[in-house]
Structure 1
Amino acid sequence: MNKMLKYMVCALILIHSNLFAQENTFENPILSGGFPDPSICRVGDDYYMVNSTFEYFPGLPIHHSKDLVNWELIGYGLHRENQCNGAVNLVDVNSNGGIHAPTIRYHEGTFYIITTNVYYDPDKKENPTDFVNFIITAKSPDGPWSKPHVLEGAPGIDPDIFFDDDGKVWYVGTHSPENPNFDGEGEIWLQEIDMENWKLTGERNYLWRGACGGVWVEGPHMYKRDGRYYLMVAEGGTSFNHAVMIAVSDDIKGPYLSNPRNPILSSRHLTYDFWVNSTGHADLIELADGRWYMVALGIRGDIDRRSNMGRESHLIPVQWEREPFEWQEIKYEWPVCAPQTGRVERINTVPFENTKQKIKTQFNDDFQSESLKLEWNFRRVPLENTYSLTEREDHLRLFAHPNVIKERGRASLMGFRQKQSLFNYQAKMSFKTREKGVEAGLSLFQKDDNHINFTVERRNKSYFLKLTLKAHDTATKVLEEKELEGYKGDILLKVSGTKDSYTFEYTLGVEDEFKSLAALENNHLISRGYTGAYLGLYATSNGNKTKAFADFDWVKCNYETLK
């Protein structure tokens, strides 16, 4: 065989192996963007996952998958205002309050989600924070979901619901023990649920304070395998020391024996520069063929060991191993996560053969539907008449409102999750008004006190393009502004994200004639709370009554994975 033929054969082998790898591997995270605290259940060959959403509405996004790597957003558990304006308050909830870690389960034809709404009331001097634990139900995972069934007398956060073989239903909760040994000590407790009356009943049992000191023990999930009860928790706080611990008991009420190999998942033992950190807060799922997997949150280290996207959902293979020690009278079986490496890997073998992961690289909306696409979210339940899809055909009309973005406020602000550090986000806007001080355009936002606005503002007889930054614990700053000469009411706005920066561009003409207004380091939007960044639209009259609005013909966003 001559040298040229050898090169050709080697090239064909390499191409074939690369294609095979692409078709038989998947890339973490499986849900990109701010999708923390994943919980998963299986119904036949269908998988459903729910995530926490804190102050955002709609809340509790529900994804569906057939293969565990390709997920489709199908609805929300909290999708109506009347679910969120009573005991469960998402109207004026504080930042990082709202909906905490949920659990989704399926039992005898009904889906259940149990979770906590955290609401801080600054006017209450004693016990200013309310923890409202509740259950919602549905016959179909895409809804409609029921009103919240509040469980009175249930302290703490992150509840789990467990259906035992004998017909009993159990609440597994988290709270701070009555006499903690140190600040941040958590404890897992158990009590039966009267499902007909949505009440806790019977004796409350205290199960476990964690494996490694019990710092911030939370996020419990109960499983039953081979007649034994396994209690899995998150521990160490949702940052670099985050970890997953597990314990076992022959009786659901305990006592529970801690796995001597805890933690079973963490990144605390890895360099801070590993591609993902803070891994933890997990849920286990058994496949129909008896294999097991885990979903867990993690933070990509794209920017200064953190990420604008915040906490995302990852998939980890799991196998059960029996303890090998001959001297042990009882040899327990324990789950081993990522058996070959013990860490969340970016590239993994797919759970099911002949599966090809279809990574979503874009989000487009031309507003030709009768309702918003499911990806759109609001910070809190939106005000009436925030937007319209019918005022102008094939456009979204965003009404300017006197409100600006502020803590516990509701502004004319809407967005979709930023899914990668590298992106190109554009919108075509029509905006014209005689009212001074009205502005409309794009917004990139993390929290009420952390956002970047790229807007057109009416001043006197002119229109100005401006870029403003609200960073944590600082006043809002105008970073750049420019009079738009020749502006007739239509503009294309563009934001591009790179590894290090955001660039802001515009054009009054065609798309390939963009002009740069400014560039800004993207670490201004690093996630420091529980949620990730959003790319959105914003309109305000800055405190004045107004009838002004902005019409958006389309938005489009293209993503690229940072390697």
Structure 2
Amino acid sequence: MSLRRLWALGATVTVALGLLASPSAQAGTGDVQPAANFTNPVLWQDFADIDILRVDNTYYYSASTMHYSPGAPILRSYDLVNWEFAGHSVPRLDFGAKYDLNGGRGYVRGIWASFLNYRKSNKTFYWGGCIDFGQTHIYTATAVDGQWSRHTTINKCYYDAGMLVDDNDTMYVAYGNSNISVAQLSPDGKTEVRSQQVFTTPSNIGTLEGARFYKRNGNYYIFLTRPANGQYILKASNPFGPYTLQQVLLNMPTPIPGGGVPHQGGLVQTQNGDWHYMAFVDAYPGGRVPVLAPITWTSDGWPRIQTVNNGWGASYPMPLPARPVKPMTGVDTFNGTTLGPQWEWNHNPDTSKYSVNNGLRLQTATVTNDLYSARNTLTHRIQGPTSTGTVTLDISAMRDGDRTGLAMLRDSSAWIGVKRDGGRNRLVIVNGLTMNNNWATTGTGTEVASANLTGTKIWLRANADIRPGAGRQARFSYSTDGVTFTPLGPGFTLKNEWQFFMGYRFGIFNHATSSLGGAVTVQRFELATP
């Protein structure tokens, strides 16, 4: 993933080039009975820079999260189509004070395209990523939903890296932007033994990055993306080359109306021997959304995407028998003493200012009039194409100057919530929270609607249409009884530029503008689809 994006979202996509499936394969794709098919996107949430692997009969999916903490979420599936949250590879962004919103901010930094792999010899998962273009951090765990710990730090940047554990248990990492290199790690995976540039991208292609590293039938493959409309692959008989390049796709029509070209993902082989490619589609304002397609191989060892009408299919046969997992939507009442893996904070939280115990208690952690600088804003991805987030708040412990609510959170934001001033609570809609291209705050918000509020419990709701296109509306409402909801304020048009990279999220916040000491309790959050 590069800050140099070559494709403007919304451009018309008309022709698929590159290595496509044969006409017979295209024709056969649509002949499967619908009951045996899945529909793209397989998951309409923001999970970008995909790395995907199989361990025995279980599939794992790692994604970028930038400034959100914990970082590098891991999803789990048993059929490549139905996915659930499993954990995070990076428990906390321990990469400097700016990730604590302390003396700086880490927006659009942090966890970029990174790798996830599994080493059978020591039954260990490895995650690695380059932070702030400086050092590469490697974390390990024996179970994705267990305790992850920093394994080592390599004093160089493995930019957009992919890991291969070779047949002889040697660990390699492919990485780079345009100039692609391969590093060999020491047997314990803690240091670099050797690194060598293996490929220079021709000028007529532009930028290649997003490396993923594979081995098949004795050949080594480095899978590379051209942001944001192409995918290429390198093939060699030795991990250090020489490599030969072929194009996999360019400007391929998308299965998401109004979305970009599927690209930057990974290959995975099922236990039945079939191959699939999981890519993402730029589908702002929702973010980068995963799509899946079958892969075939030519007799001389090159991959082909099985297309439908010369494009990425909106539907394909199920790779494996469907196996349901914990759904991405539903109700969280914050039982137990920890947050579920579906939650991520905006930057690292102040752990002394929140607690989970049959409800989430959010004490004010920052005195500020800028939501973008307030600590302990808890975020949840939005389910597409449209969904509704509803939060139930006990506001009895708020203090004068406190602000709490439910935000549509991105570099252009709006929120519904409660302002407490002069011993009185008011329900408000605030929009016009903005950042510039350096992610500095340019607007702290303007109150555009309000209503009187009595009582100490409030239900806040945001309905979000995150389909690419002209709609892109969020609408706010509230309830004092949890049954009847009253609309408040104008609709909010969600920004669809790609430069912030992450899509919109629901954000639950509580911060002070005068002094610390207040609190709210989040009793319930529900994510529902129509």
Q: Distance in 1 between matches of 2:81 and 2:189?
A: 38
Deviates more, 1:411-420 or 1:516-525: 516-525
**Quick one: which of 193, 196, 211 aligns to 1:201?**
193
**1:312 equivalenced with 2:280 (yes/no):** no
Counterpart amino acid of residue 114 in structure 2 = P
Matched AA of 1:503 = R
Q: How many Å separate the matches in 2 of 1:297 and 1:442?
A: 28
1:62 corresponds, among 61, 69, 74, to: 74
- 1:378 maps to 345
- The counterpart of 2:519, out of the listed 539, 549, 561, is 549
> Unpaired runs of 5+ in structure 1?
1-19, 120-129, 176-185, 301-306, 323-331
* SS of residue matched to 1:529: coil
Residues 138-157 of structure 1 correspond to what in structure 2 (within 5 A)?
138-152=141-155, 154-157=156-159
1:354-369 map, 5 Å: 354-355=321-322, 360=327, 362-369=329-336
Structure 1: how far apart are the matches of 2:325 and 2:280?
Answer: 20
TM-score, with structure 1 as normaliser: 0.79
Q: 2:20 maps to what in 1?
A: none
Which among 398, 420, 426 is matched to residue 464 of structure 1? 426
State the partner residue of 1:503. 475
Tell whether the 8 Å contact from 2:254 to 2:312 is kept in structure 1 after alignment: no
The answer to whether structure 1 residue 517 and structure 2 residue 488 are counterparts is yes
In the alignment, structure 1 residue 333 sits paired with structure 2 residue 331:
no
Partner of 1:182: none
| Alignment correspondent of 1:111 | 124
The 5 Å alignment of 1:119-198 reads 119=132, 130-152=133-155, 154-175=156-177, 186-196=178-188, 198=190
1:206-221 to structure 2, matched below 5 A, reads: 206-210=197-201, 213-221=204-212
Amino acid at match of 2:183: Q
CA distance in 2 between counterparts of 1:197 and 1:510 reads: 53
**Alignment partner, residue 125 of structure 1:** none
Q: Is the CA contact 1:60–1:77 (under 8 Å) kept in the aligned structure 2?
A: yes
What CA distance in whole angstroms lies between the structure 1 residues aligned with 2:398 and 2:308?
65
Residue aligning to 2:394: 430
Q: CA RMSD in A?
A: 2.8
> Could you tell me the percent identity over the aligned residues?
20
- 1:141 Cα offset (Å): 2.2
Task: Tell me the distance in 1 between the aligned counterparts of 2:403 and 2:371.
Answer: 20
Task: Please give the residue correspondences for 1:475-494 in structure 2 after superposition, counting only pairs within 5 Å.
Answer: 475-485=443-453, 487-494=454-461
The CA deviation at 1:414 is: 0.3
Structure 1 position 378, deviation (Å): 0.2
Query: Separation in 1 of the partners of 2:253 and 2:189?
Result: 47
1:166-225 alpha-carbon deviations (Å, 9 max, x no partner): 4432221214xxxxxxxxxx21011221133711123x3211123673423211122222
Of residues 94, 98, 108, the one that matches 2:106 is 94
Q: Supply the AA of the counterpart residue of 2:477.
A: E
Cα deviation for residue 57 of structure 1 reads 0.8
Larger CA deviation: 206-215 vs 284-293: 206-215
Relative distance call for 1:464 and 1:509 in structure 2 (3 A) is same
**What is the aligned partner in structure 2 of residue 247 from structure 1?**
234
Amino acid at match of 1:536: G
The CA distance in 2 between the partners of 1:488 and 1:407, in whole Å, is 25
- Matched residue, 1:26: 38
Change (3 A) 1:335 1:389: same
**1:409-424 matched pairs, under 5 angstroms:** 409-424=373-388
Shift of 1:370: 2.4
Question: Hey, what's the Cα distance between the residues in 2 that align with 1:430 and 1:218?
Answer: 47
Structure 1 residue 409, shift from structure 2 partner: 3.9
Amino acid at match of 1:227: G
Please say if residues 38 and 281 of structure 1, whose CA atoms lie closer than 8 Å, have aligned partners that are also in contact: yes
Q: For structure 1, which segment, 397-406 or 549-558, has the greater mean C-alpha deviation from structure 2 after superposition? A: 397-406
Q: 1:283 to 1:116 in 2, by over 3 A?
A: same
Give the equivalent residue in structure 1 for 2:275: 292
Q: Give 2:261's match in structure 1, choosing from 278, 284, 300.
A: 278
Q: Which one is further off, 37-46 or 427-436?
A: 427-436
- Matched residue SS, 1:23: helix
**CA–CA distance in 2 between the matches of 1:191 and 1:495?**
47
8 Å contact 2:401–2:515 — kept in the other structure?
no
Amino acid at match of 2:510: A
Decide whether aligned partners of structure 1 residues 281 and 85 sit closer, same or farther in structure 2, where only a CA change above 3 A counts: same
Q: Which has the higher contact order (CA 8 A, sep 6+)?
A: 2
Question: How far did residue 521 of structure 1 move?
Answer: 3.4
Report the AA paired with residue 335 of structure 1. Answer: P
State the one-letter code of the partner of 1:299. D
Partner of 1:351: 319
1:15 corresponds in structure 2 to none
One-letter amino acid of the counterpart of residue 529, structure 2: Y
Counterpart in the other structure of 1:3: none
User: In the TM superposition, what are the counterparts of 1:381-392 in structure 2 within 5 Å?
Assistant: 381-390=348-357
Contact 1:111 1:140 in 2 (8 A): yes
> For the residues of structure 1 that align with 2:209 and 2:337, how far apart are their CA atoms?
41
525-534 or 371-380, which deviates more: 525-534
C-alpha separation in 2, matches of 1:212 and 1:273:
30
Give, in angstroms, the shift of residue 467 of structure 1: 1.5
TM-score by length of 2: 0.84
Distance in structure 1 (CA, Å) of the matches to 2:56 and 2:183:
29
* Higher mean C-alpha deviation, range 32-41 or range 342-351: 342-351
In 1, the alpha carbon distance for the partners of 2:80 and 2:190 equals 32
Aligned pair count reads: 485
Q: Deviations over 1:7-60 (max 9, x none)?
A: xxxxxxxxxxxxx94531112222332100111111121111111111111111
Indicate the residue corresponding to 1:559 in structure 2: 529
Distance 1:23 1:369, change over 3 A: farther
Equivalent residue letter for 1:91: D
Out of 30, 53, 64, the position equivalent to 1:52 is: 64
Structure 2 portions without partners, runs of 5+: 1-31, 437-441, 466-470
Aligned counterpart, 2:11: none
Selected match of 2:504 from 495, 519, 533: 533
Q: Which has the larger radius of gyration?
A: 1
Separation in structure 1 between the aligned mates of residue 482 and residue 150 of structure 2, nearest angstrom: 48
Q: CA deviation at 1:552?
A: 2.1
Deviation at 1:433, TM superposition (A): 5.2
